[in-house]
Structure 1
Amino acid sequence: MSPECCAVICDVVRIANRAEPDFSRACKEVLQLLVSAFGLKGAELFLCGDRPRHFSERLAASGPYLIRPCSSMAEGGSAETLNSRCLVRDGQVLSVPLFDHLRLHGVLTLSLPSDFHSCHSFEKFCQTIALQLSGLLQRRQLAAGERRRTAQLALISALGSSLNKACTIKELLEAASRIVQHHAEASCVVLRPIYGNTLLGDRTVRIPRVWQGLRAPLLAIEEGLAAQVVADGKVVFKQHPLAAVEHSELLLSAVAAVPLVFQQHTWGVFTIFEQLDASPLALASDPAAQGMLVLIAEQIAQAMERLAAVEKLEDLSQEKATELQDMSLLYRISRAMHSTLHLDELMHLVLSAATVKNGAGFERAMLFLVNERSGFLQGMLGVRRAEAGAVLPPSKGLSAWEKPRVSKAVRSAQRQDPFSRQVCKQRLSLEQSDHPLVQAVLEERVVLVSDHGRGAPSFAELKKLFSIGHCACAPLVGHGRVLGVLLVDSPGSREEIAAERRRFLELFASQAAQAMENSLLMQRLEESHRHLRETQEQMIQGEKMAALGETAASVTHELRNPLVSVGGYANRLAGLLPAESKSGEYSQIIVREVRRMEEMLSNILAFSKKQMLCLVNCHLEEILEEVLTLESEPLQRASIVLQNEIVEGLPPIQGDEQKLRQVVLNLVANARQTMAAGGVLTVRAYTTLLRGEPAVALEVEDTGGGIELSVMRNIFNPFFTTRQDGTGLGLSIVHRIIEHHHGDIEVQNGELGARFIIRLAVAQSERKPGVPGWPGRR
């Protein structure tokens, strides 16, 4: 071997000994040394990849590049060298195998000058150089493996620490992409979540500044690989994804896309791009690193599963907390609603509970009740948050719910509010099926109305009148029927009512309907009890009157016989005695008192007898005209002015003319006796309703100062009178006659005196079908 070759070998050994850690540059220096020492045209290293007879990397003596990726098949002398592991000269190209006891690393190709003649010593020299290069490549692989393991441990440690600190999925993906890109020195890292195992979400991208110019093609490649991973569920490797792009040293060696799988659930896709010889981990360029890729993906997926579980637990906790808060609120509202059985108080309480801040929280509430007979929804009450504070003062906190203030003054103030008065004017037909309020009634469900849509045309007028935006209509469903509808909204916030509030409104409306149903039931029970008590009193009174009648008839008969004799002899004696004498005066007094006693006994006898009515169609105005004509002279003597307010054309009534005449006569006489110092007697007659049917009303009003409240309850009792010369039977007879006519009598105190109101049903032949009454006073 020539001295020149020995010197080159010494230089190669020296380069190899100081090569660490830059083995690629050391190999290039060796190639450059060979070219310069022997005047070679060129020298190249072709390194083997995983596929047989294929080269994956290439290093040339010329040019600025170090080891670069390539994908070429061994041909000619290189192919023969790989097969035989011997030196092969093919023309002016000498191929030298690079191998050791572990593996075949590749082929060294030397381009010889045309006048170069190789000899046996030169071949030995080439084999020695090949052995040194094989050592460099082996050390390069060992160093790369060591660096890879160290980087892998650092990556796993840093990744675990960062993932544990993340509080949201977004933070987790950003932290994971940052850690992986930093430790793997990757050209690009993309993490993309998956929703429902099929839908790719927004990606988190990490690209160093030097690679920003290739962002678009990198993301295009990632999108295709991510779709493939989602479809196949497997790791995808791709070599030289940008091989066609010549961009200085920015040459990618490989890209890998890995599914983020944990416990058989796919959470997303992890994609990493690597530059040749730039990544210490070689996660994408080395298929042997697939286990590491899967480990990283599993660690990220596990963290995503943990955060998803935490978020789900927080959502569930929040949902349960909201449910607990709603149940607590409904409990308070239920207690408050059951604190009263008065329907009017209950309506004010329900609407106030719906609008206070610590209640249902809406700003306004309107109540509409169903009128089944008319087929309409009638506005009953409207309450705003400001007025609701009078019933449930916010300053008192939860204690306000224990004793809500629904006094008459508070209710009156809420009703007089302009908003409530406007609500009370609303009347909606139940035939408007597209109206949200009507829908809630007909479908018996809560209807949520959004301000974003066009809405029903029938709702437009009400919406404009009250400036309604997003609102909810909750039906008040009782036992087998809908009592009404509650409309709630918050125009101040303009926020759409969440669908989760539907359940709360259903429970709230159900409680309100139950309380209203209880109130109505209590009213019916009280009314039934009152009717029962009145019936019992009437039966007792009837028994008393029957006994009194028998006694009165017996006493009257016993008194009448001697009274006839006394009266007869008194008349004869008055005729015999001079009228101017004291005896004549005394006899006249006896005659008058006997007549009064006879009249009283006649009344008692008439009251005690069973009344027999002769019912015919009669006209009230004719009866009034006859009685007022008879009473005109006594009224004039008493200085009483008569005022007639009788509507013309009154329909006939069915009754006993004689009895009705007695009723009018007794009322007019009673009024005349009350106004001893004169006054005004007003007689009115007009059409009205009696128990929902057409009727005629008669009013007799005086200016005698009225009736004391303590006396009013007894004025219709037999023998009750406030006058010294009264019998106490006049009003009792009136009351009994009206009862026998199935009419109604009422007494009121007016501004100047008492007013008696009698209502009698119109004759059946005069009732018009479908017409509840005629124009008149109601």
Structure 2
Amino acid sequence: MFQSQKTRRNLLIAAVVIVLGITAGHYVTDMHHVAFHNVYRRLYYLPIVLAAFAHGLKGGGVMALVVSAAYIPHAFFSHHRDPAPTVDKLLEIVLYLVIGLLTGWLVELQRRAHARLSVALNEKEVLEKQLVRAGKLSALGQLTSGLAHEIRNPLASILGSAEAITSEFEEEHRKYPLTRVLLDEISRLDQVVSGFLKFAGPAPPEKRKISARELVLRLEGLLRTTLEGRKIRLETQVPDEMVELDSDQAGQVLLNLVLNGADAAQSAENPTVVIVFERRKIAGKPYACFGVKDNGEGVPDSLAETIFEPYFTTRSDGSGLGLSISNTIMEKHGGILDLEQGDHTVFWACFPEEP
């Protein structure tokens, strides 16, 4: 029922050939051979059904008309006329139309049901992946949170001591640069710990209504200089529609996705990152979805799930927390972060909406 374009074309060609063959059989068979003509009339149903299988209601209806047009001259006007009673021939023509339309309608119903089932299965797969990912992140988040807090407490003492030591030296002193290195490294370590804490437990979202376009324009303003310096074009295709979310956290998610897209597109001839927006229904629930796509080489299938795991990165200077933090934020929103592979890589951040 769900053939490729080539199969449908072959079915249609076969149907036309069968119509021509049956019609020729009518004309070359003597009118006294009533049984043969009865069989030929019944065989006309075969091309009608084939056309309905190939092109649904339209195919079945059109082929029924073609068959009727091919049969009528032989049935009523030719000297090789079908010897069957006129009522039988008229009824047969009506049945051609009924069978063509009915079969085509049933085929289309089944195709629609198949399409709905396919969408439902895809949504189920997305939600299952999200649940598995959430379980992993929850366990790792608890461990990370504990470690980060244990590190941060002595780190504060170390920072205080380092600042006290630094204040003992004048800038001209030969040991002063060493104390500055110490402070800089402590600051960097503090940023790493802060990243761990953000991953482990971002604040609950404070949702409010905001224009999707306004949210993206803010992000565009923040990133313009950075992306222009890397010669990466950022395009936005976001309508002025209202969404309800935590704009700061949503902005952080989109920021991470755009920066990831920029890294992926860097090697392209004309590196481009595009932000799009659409409203979707997933598992029957409405979502406002922001998509970030790039024209890079794409994500290998082997890494499609791994990239969401904490600390996974393909960059030498990456922390591996960008997508993990984004995923945790989406979970706090009750949303979904998903990867779509195709002509372009698209990361979708879908925020739930009130039905």
Tell me which interval the TM-score lies in, with the shorter structure as reference length: 0.5 to 0.7
- Partner of 1:269 in structure 2? none
Match of 2:3 in 1: 344
Q: Which residue of 2 aligns with 1:698?
A: 290
CA positional deviation for 1:657 = 1.7
User: For 1:681-692, what aligned pairs fall within 5 Å after superposition?
Assistant: 681-691=272-282
The residue type paired with residue 706 of structure 1 is G
Please tell me whether residue 756 in structure 1 is matched to residue 347 in structure 2. Answer: yes
Listed as ranges, the gaps of 5+ residues in structure 1 are 1-341, 369-380, 383-422, 428-436, 438-461, 472-488, 765-778
Q: RMSD value over aligned CA atoms?
A: 5.1
Cα distance in 2 between the residues matched to 1:741 and 1:469:
57
- Residue 367 (structure 1) aligns with: 52
Match of 2:249 in 1: 659
CA contact (8 A) 2:299 2:345 kept: yes
User: Is the Cα contact below 8 Å between 1:468 and 1:491 reproduced in 2?
Assistant: no
**Cα separation, 1, equivalents of 2:326 and 2:67:** 61
- SS of aligned partner of 1:468: helix
SS at match of 1:727: coil
Structure 1 residues 625, 522: closer, same or farther in 2, change over 3 A? Answer: closer
Residue type at the aligned position of 1:344: Q
> Aligned-pair distance for 1:662?
1.4
Q: Which one has the largest radius of gyration?
A: 1
Deviations 1:665-706 (A, max 9, x none): 222333444566896444444554445888655343445543
| 1:239-268 C-alpha deviation (Å, 9 max, x unpaired) | xxxxxxxxxxxxxxxxxxxxxxxxxxxxxx
Match of 2:258 among 653, 656, 668: 668
The residue number in structure 2 matching 1:605 is 197
| Residue equivalent to 1:548 | 140
Deviation at 1:653, TM superposition (A): 0.6
Q: CA deviation at 1:655?
A: 1.0
Q: Distance in 2 between matches of 1:631 and 1:525?
A: 38
Instruction: Give 1:161-310 correspondences, 5 Å limit.
Output: none
* Structure 1: distance between partners of 2:309 and 2:168: 44
* Equivalent in the alignment of 1:624: 216
- Cα deviation for residue 575 of structure 1 reads 5.5
Residue 612 of structure 1 aligns to a residue whose secondary structure is coil
Distance 1:675 1:627, change over 3 A: same
1:514-525 correspondence to structure 2 within 5 Å: 524=117
In structure 1, the residue matched to 2:32 is none
Residues 438-517 of structure 1: pairs in structure 2 closer than 5 A = 468-471=65-68
CA contact (8 A) 1:639 1:677 kept: no
Structure 2 gap segments, 5+ residues each: 23-42, 76-81, 83-87
Equivalent residue, structure 1, for 2:186:
594
1:615 aligned partner: 207
Distance 1:737 1:547, change over 3 A: closer
TM-score (norm 2): 0.62
Shift of 1:615: 2.0
State the distance in 1 between where 2:278 and 2:129 align.
31
Q: Which has the higher contact order (CA 8 A, sep 6+)?
A: 2
CA-to-aligned-CA distance 1:91-119 (integer Å, 9 cap, x gap): xxxxxxxxxxxxxxxxxxxxxxxxxxxxx
Q: Partners in 2 of 1:746 and 1:494 — Cα distance? A: 61
CA deviation profile, 1:57-113 (whole Å, cap 9, x unmatched): xxxxxxxxxxxxxxxxxxxxxxxxxxxxxxxxxxxxxxxxxxxxxxxxxxxxxxxxx
Amino acid at match of 1:712: A
What is the number of equivalent residue pairs in this alignment? 309
CA contact (8 A) 1:652 1:762 kept: no
SS at 2:347 equivalent: strand
SS at match of 2:316: coil
Q: 1:149-177 CA deviation, whole Å, 9 max, x = no partner?
A: xxxxxxxxxxxxxxxxxxxxxxxxxxxxx
SS at match of 1:613: coil
The answer as to whether partners of 1:690 and 1:760 remain within 8 angstroms in 2 is no
Q: Deviations over 1:747-775 (max 9, x none)?
A: 45677x744344546666xxxxxxxxxxx
SS state of the match for residue 309, structure 2? coil
Check the 8 A contact 1:738/1:744 in 2, yes or no: yes
SS in structure 1 of the partner of residue 306 of structure 2: coil
Per-residue CA distance 1:19-60 (angstroms, 9 max, x = gap): xxxxxxxxxxxxxxxxxxxxxxxxxxxxxxxxxxxxxxxxxx
Give yes or no for contact 2:204–2:332 (8 Å, CA) kept in 1. no
- Percent same amino acid among aligned pairs? 22
Specify the code of the residue in structure 2 equivalent to 1:664.
L
Alignment-derived partner of residue 311 in structure 2: 719
Residues 1:761 and 1:557: Cα distance change in structure 2 (over 3 Å) = closer
TM value normalised by structure 1: 0.32
* Contact kept in structure 1, 2:236 and 2:274, CA below 8 Å: yes
**Partners of 1:546 and 1:655 in 2: how far apart?**
22
Matched residue, 2:38 = none
The one-letter amino acid of 2:65's match is: I
Match of 2:149 in 1: 557
Shift of 1:555: 1.0
Residue 320 of structure 2 corresponds to residue 635 of structure 1 = no
* Alpha carbons 2:237, 2:275 under 8 Å: kept: yes
Between Structure 1 and Structure 2, which shows a larger proportion of helix residues? 2
Show CA shifts across 1:272-308 (max 9, x none).
xxxxxxxxxxxxxxxxxxxxxxxxxxxxxxxxxxxxx
Map 1:325-404 onto structure 2 (within 5 A): 343-344=2-3, 348=8, 355=15, 357=18, 362-363=46-47, 365-367=50-52, 381-382=54-55
Residue identity in the other structure for 2:51? M
Offset of residue 709 of structure 1:
3.1
